[in-house]
Structure 1
Amino acid sequence: MGAYCMYEVKPTRPVASRWRFAIAGIIMCAVSLVRAQTPQSIRLAGEEWPPYLARGLPDDGLTGAMLRAVLDRLGYTATIDYFPWRRAVEVGMHDPRYAGVMPVLRTPEREKQCHFSTPLGRTSYVLAFLKDQPVRAGSLAGLRELRIGTVSGYSYSAEFDTQAAQGTLTVEEAVNDETNLRKLLFRRFPVVVIDRQVLRYLLAKPTFTPADRERIGTSDGLFRERTMHLCFRRTSVGQMQQQAFDNAAREIDLPRLEREYWRRIGYDG
């Protein structure tokens, strides 16, 4: 359902106040309203990917905290609905009830599907393996003789994604990172690719024993750090939302917010 609205920037307001009021007006007009939403809320799709996005963490995780800080500048709140990753992408990008999907890493293909927000956190992938069978690879070529655990629909790097799609790298896709760690412990494959902080969070859960944690080692250097974003739907409305969001984000020290969030949940980032 579309919505029509008008707003007026009163000339008596200070310049900064008029600007903020105008931006809030843009996003208010841009958001498609549905019965399940209040006029001051936008709806987003996402996947449980702690510590970046998760219902059980303060403000729905690091990315959720950044999202809410920006929307708060505009007088908005966010409703985040959780789905498996591929379903979250489908809903967030195509269901008109949703403004978008998060967190998303930029790829050339996704550039054609999204209006990407300013960065909302960073991700750094590592190789995880069993310490009694260590995997040391100086390049992706060093992984070509191995089966590699990955998550369906995830992007790891342009080179890795291309080689996996071409079959140069042999990957076995799972529904999530926790499943991959279980398979690794059962020696279903010798190595998985996983975000460093996600690995740390998952292994700290009581579902993994101290013995499990002790068995797993890591190696980094194959993957560069990448930024995560809110992917607004690639429509004229989505573009207005993205522009309003990014204008508000410029008023917030997001790197400082990220550091504070890691300390808040007991991480060093």
Structure 2
Amino acid sequence: MIEASPKRGRKRSERRWWRHAVAVAALCATGMAEAQTSRTIRVAGEEWPPFLARSLPDDGLTGSQLRAVLDRLGYTASIDYYPWRRAMELGMHDPRYAGFMPVLRTPEREKFCHFSTTLGRTSYVLAYLRERPVRARSLADLRDTRIGTVSGYSYSADFDTMAATRALDVEEAVNDETNLRKLLFRRFPVIVIDSQVLRFLLAKDAFTQADRERIATSDGLFAERTMHLCFRRTTVGQVQQQAFDNAAREVDLNRLEKEYWRRIGVGG
């Protein structure tokens, strides 16, 4: 076996150090004085437990994954919470922010995002009342059914298109908890919601055991999708995304996800 010379080893080490230095410099170049001095990366997001929430350890599953990756680069995360549309607006256009999360990847969002590696997964289901069951083998079966959704959310390419063209009758709310309460009050017969979000919300003290027993779900209409951090679509944003993804390769995000679900008592 031919061993690499010490000189070649030093060059490889120097190249790795240089790539890391460039990555850290790029992450710092957000235009925020506070980020440059405190080594903090600022992102916008919406309360969406258990994926992102101030009340959860490390700001939820996605927040914990964000922190684990940034820690590899010697940075910490600062997450500011807003309603979803406001979070998107700030994350896309405000230079104080590196981006926003968690976001699902769509062709439309490709225009203003450099997407990070996967930070969790979402699986949408239909939720309805047991006393008023909703049967649907396809989205077309929902054409005459009023559906509760959240403003600004993407559910699937087909669903989003049908909702935008009014082929589906949707009523938008500010968040999933509002929709769940409307469903219990029979404001509409069905809502679309992530299965883990539904489970987490129903476990809260704000909902009774009777409420939980009234809710039923149906899956199969929506494929599992990945969630990401949307870095601003700028030159700096692209370098930030590349640095982030390089660091993410050194973190076992799948193991971290499984451990986080166990940590908060939610099945993953």
What band does the TM-score fall into relative to the shorter chain? over 0.9
C-alpha RMSD of the superposition? 1.7
Match of 1:92 in 2: 91
Quote the residue 2:80 is aligned against.
81
Cα distance in 2 for residues equivalent to 1:13 and 1:250: 18
> Are 2:44 and 1:41 equivalent residues in the alignment?
no
- Shift in Å, 1:160: 0.1
Cα distance in 2 for residues equivalent to 1:241 and 1:52: 22
1:57 and 1:245 map into 2 onto residues whose CA distance is 23
Shift of 1:253: 1.2
Q: Measure, in 2, the Cα distance between the counterparts of 1:19 and 1:263.
A: 38
Instruction: Report how far residue 14 of structure 1 moved.
Output: 3.4
Q: What is the SS of the residue equivalent to 1:69?
A: helix
Q: Given the superposition, is the C-alpha separation of residues 113 and 104 from structure 1 closer, same or farther in structure 2, using an over 3 Å criterion?
A: same
Aligned residue identity for 2:86? R
**More helix, by proportion:** 2
- Which structure 2 residues correspond to residues 25-174 of structure 1 after superposition, within 5 A? 25-35=24-34, 38-174=37-173
- Deviation per CA, 1:149-189, whole angstroms, max 9, x where unpaired? 00000000000000000000000000000010111011110
Matched, 1:246 2:245: yes
String of CA shifts for 1:245-264, please: whole Å, max 9, x gaps.
00000111111111111111
Cα distance in 2 for partners of 1:79, 1:96 equals 14
Match of 1:212 in 2: 211
Report % sequence identity.
76
* Residues 44 and 98, structure 1, Cα contact 8 Å, conserved in 2: yes
The equivalent residue for 1:259 is 258
Aligned AA (1:245): F
TM-score normalised per structure 1: 0.92
- In structure 2, what is the Cα distance between the partners aligned to 1:50 and 1:64? 10
Aligned length: 259
Structure 1 residue runs of 4 or more that deviate by more than 6 Å after TM superposition: none
Q: Structure 2 length normalisation: TM-score?
A: 0.92
CA–CA distance in 2 between the matches of 1:124 and 1:16? 41
